[in-house]
């Protein structure tokens, strides 16, 4: 089962093309200059997913961003968007490098 789509809008990127509001008017409103605002909290109903994804993909400046959720899947496994924790590299002993160089 899917966790559902969540989006956010980076208004600093929006260039006022208005495409998003054309595709998904329930999720995007335009101000007097054509700049978009997100309606609601970014949670996308499954029935609106295609329209919102179309808005996301057609935005010329990529101002609409799909946000992954951190909830685990229903089966208890990690969400597919989850990334493993970055691991710290092993501390390097500079004398090892010198010893390698000298050999």
Residue indicated by tokens 């909290």? 41
CB of 46 to ligand SF4, least distance (A): 22
Q: Give the residue, chosen from 7, 14, 44, 52, that forms a contact with ligand SF4 under the rule CB under 6 A.
A: 14
Site for ligand SF4 in 68-87 (CB under 6 A): none
Q: Give the residue, chosen from 20, 24, 44, 52, that forms a contact with ligand SF4 under the rule CB under 6 A.
A: 20
- The reply on whether position 15 binds ligand SF4 by CB under 6 A is yes
Using the rule CB under 6 A, give the single segment among 57-65, 70-78, 83-91, 95-103 that binds ligand SF4. Answer: 57-65
Beta bridge pairs of residue 86: none
* CA gap 49, 94 in Å, rounded: 53
* CA gap 63, 20 in Å, rounded: 10
Kindly list the residues in this chain that would bind ligand SF4 in the complex (CB under 6 A). 9, 14-20, 28, 36, 59-61, 63-64
């Amino acid at each position: 089962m899917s966790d559902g789509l969540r989006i956010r809008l980076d208004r600093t990127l929006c260039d006022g093309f208005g495409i998003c509001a054309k595709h998904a008017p329930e999720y995007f409103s335009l101000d007097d200059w054509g700049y978009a605002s997100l309606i609601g909290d970014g949670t996308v109903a499954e029935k609106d997913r295609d329209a919102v994804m179309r808005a996301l993909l057609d935005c010329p400046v990529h101002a609409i961003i799909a946000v992954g959720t951190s909830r685990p899947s229903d089966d208890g496994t990690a969400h597919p968007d989850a990334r493993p924790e970055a691991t710290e590299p092993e501390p390097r002993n500079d004398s090892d490098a010198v010893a390698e160089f000298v050999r």
